[in-house]
């Protein structure tokens, strides 16, 4: 039987559509398998945040959303060794109610990403927001970090599902190309990264020996300082004289405005907000800039939000010493015990701003 031209075209289109559908189903299945394997170790769950997927909020449950970069994510440690998990455990010890702290940290994101992420994860119905990031914003107004990685995915924007198969394949390509040569892989990341002036840290450092830890601290500090060298260039006079209505000045006008926007977002929706200062960075240029950045932020928090009962400023800059290999494995990211120390230190600040039931 010979098909008419019209029927042939319809049959061909149907076959092509079926083929595309089958391929999409197979890709989704592969992606779900990767999520299942990774969400309890180094990766993200299917909704794009770290750790198991949060269940439906229970009656009386306190839900906290913690945002930041790789130090919140818990780079180099398992999901249950990150700051949000330790914070959750300590809050449960203090409260006679269910508690869940959701880890919304994402490597290399800065304060600019907070409002978009709070919007995207509003469905989690969090009660308290913890904002904890400064390292990824050290270049300041000369190199503003505007990364919002999850929104880069069209699938995530349309559906709320975060695919990780592309990331997995990218890592496989690096392994095939560079093998165990971490320096070569690091250089490839540095050349191709989407956020200039942001150091990309390679995984696996947490299991190294103490001697290697000291080497890692030294090399990562030099890498960070090297990427901050451009901030030593004399900027245009207009940029130097810039001052926001918040009272912040160059080079952290944009950073302060991003933090303030996230705090106001939370307050406008009846959420408690904690803004935390990370342990003081080490190294020459990075130490100088981090100290200036956090002093400016602390002054802004006091000046603008000092009388807000729903806001607390947690200065943890001297809580742990990043020079110590017992604390960190690369001069920035903390080992599990240090993450536990930070989590415990945040408890009282969170409890101050918990909304009344």
Quote the pTM value. Answer: 0.79
Q: What CA–CA distance (Å, rounded) separates 39 from 164?
A: 11
- Supply the DSSP string of 206-263, one letter for each residue: GGS-HHHHHHHHHHHHHHHHHHTGGGGSPPPHHHHT-B-TTS-BTTSHHHHHHHHHHH
Best-predicted range by mean pLDDT (63-67, 177-181, 206-210): 63-67
* Res. 181: pLDDT tops 50: no
Which of 118-122, 201-205, 220-224, 325-329 is predicted most confidently?
A: 118-122
pLDDT per position as a tens digit, 231-242: 554 455 555 455
pLDDT for the residue 55? 93
- Looking at residue 162, its pLDDT comes to 82
What's the CA gap between 315 and 349, in Å, rounded?
10
Is residue 152 within 8 Å of residue 163, measured between CB atoms?
no
Tokens of 103: 């880890």
* Residue ranges of domains in the chain: 62-147+205-352
Range with lowest mean pLDDT among 35-49, 185-199, 310-324: 185-199
pLDDT > 60? residue 252: yes
Give the separation between CA 125 and CA 193, rounded to whole angstroms: 33
DSSP string over 42-102: TS--TTSSBSSPPPPPPTT-EEEEEEESHHHHTTTS-GGGSHHHHHHHHHHHH-SS-EEEE
Residue 330 has pLDDT above 70, yes or no: yes
User: What does DSSP assign to residue 283?
Assistant: S
More confident residue, 269 or 24: 269
- The residue that leads in pLDDT, 26 or 132, is 132
Distances (CA, A) of 285 to 185, 241, 280, 311, 318: 25, 21, 12, 31, 18
Q: What is the pLDDT of residues 281-312, one digit of tens each?
A: 987 888 999 999 999 999 999 999 999 999 99
Tens of pLDDT along 106-147? Answer: 989 999 999 999 999 999 999 999 999 999 999 999 899 999
- pLDDT score of 127: 98
> HSE of 261 in the Cβ direction (CA atoms, 13 Å)?
16
CATH of domain 62-147+205-352: 3.40.50.1110
For residue 9, the model assigns a pLDDT of 55
52/187 Cα distance (integer angstroms): 32
Report the share of the chain in percent with pLDDT over 90. Answer: 54
**pLDDT given at position 229:** 52
| Residue 334 scores a pLDDT above 60 | yes
Say which residue, 214 or 52, is predicted with more confidence: 52
* Token pair 């070569």: residue: 184
What per-residue confidence (pLDDT) applies to 273?
A: 98
Q: d(Cα 79, Cα 337) in Å, to the nearest integer?
A: 14
**What is the rounded average pLDDT of the residues 159-178?**
63
> Is the model's pLDDT at 264 over the cut of 60?
yes
Q: Determine contact, residues 330/220, Cβ cutoff 8 Å.
A: yes
* 27-31, 40-44, 77-81, 262-266, range with the lowest pLDDT: 27-31
């Amino acid at each position: 039987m010979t098909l008419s031209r019209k029927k042939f075209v319809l049959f061909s289109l149907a076959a092509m559509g079926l083929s595309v559908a089958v391929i999409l189903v197979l890709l989704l299945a592969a992606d779900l398998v990767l999520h299942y394997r990774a969400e309890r170790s180094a990766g993200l769950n299917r909704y794009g945040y770290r750790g198991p997927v949060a269940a439906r909020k229970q009656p009386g449950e306190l839900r906290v959303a913690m945002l930041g970069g790789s130090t919140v994510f818990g780079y180099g440690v398992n999901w249950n060794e990150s700051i949000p998990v330790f914070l959750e455990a300590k809050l449960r010890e203090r409260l006679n109610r269910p508690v869940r702290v959701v880890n919304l940290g994402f490597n290399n994101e800065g304060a600019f990403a907070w409002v978009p992420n709070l919007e995207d994860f509003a469905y989690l119905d969090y009660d308290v927001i913890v904002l904890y990031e400064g390292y990824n914003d050290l270049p300041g107004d000369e190199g503003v970090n505007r990364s919002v990685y999850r929104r880069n995915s069209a699938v995530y924007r349309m559906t709320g599902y975060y695919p990780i198969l592309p990331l997995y394949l990218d890592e496989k390509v690096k392994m095939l190309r560079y093998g165990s040569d971490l320096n070569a892989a690091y250089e490839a990341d540095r050349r191709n990264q989407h956020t200039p002036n942001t150091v990309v840290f390679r995984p696996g450092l947490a299991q190294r020996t103490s001697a290697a830890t000291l080497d890692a601290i030294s090399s990562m500090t030099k890498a960070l300082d090297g990427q901050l060298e451009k901030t030593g260039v004399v900027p245009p006079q207009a940029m130097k004289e810039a001052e926001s209505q918040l009272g912040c000045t160059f080079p952290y006008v944009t950073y302060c405005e991003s933090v303030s926007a996230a705090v106001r977002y939370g307050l406008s929706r009846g959420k408690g907000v904690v803004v935390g200062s990370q342990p003081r960075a080490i190294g020459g240029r990075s130490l100088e800039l981090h100290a200036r950045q956090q002093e400016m932020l602390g002054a802004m928090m006091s000046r603008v939000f000092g009388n807000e009962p729903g806001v607390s400023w947690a200065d943890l800059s001297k809580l742990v010493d990043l020079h110590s290999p017992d604390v960190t494995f690369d001069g920035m990211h903390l080992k599990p015990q240090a993450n536990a120390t930070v989590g415990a230190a945040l408890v009282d600040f969170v409890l101050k701003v918990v909304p009344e039931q």
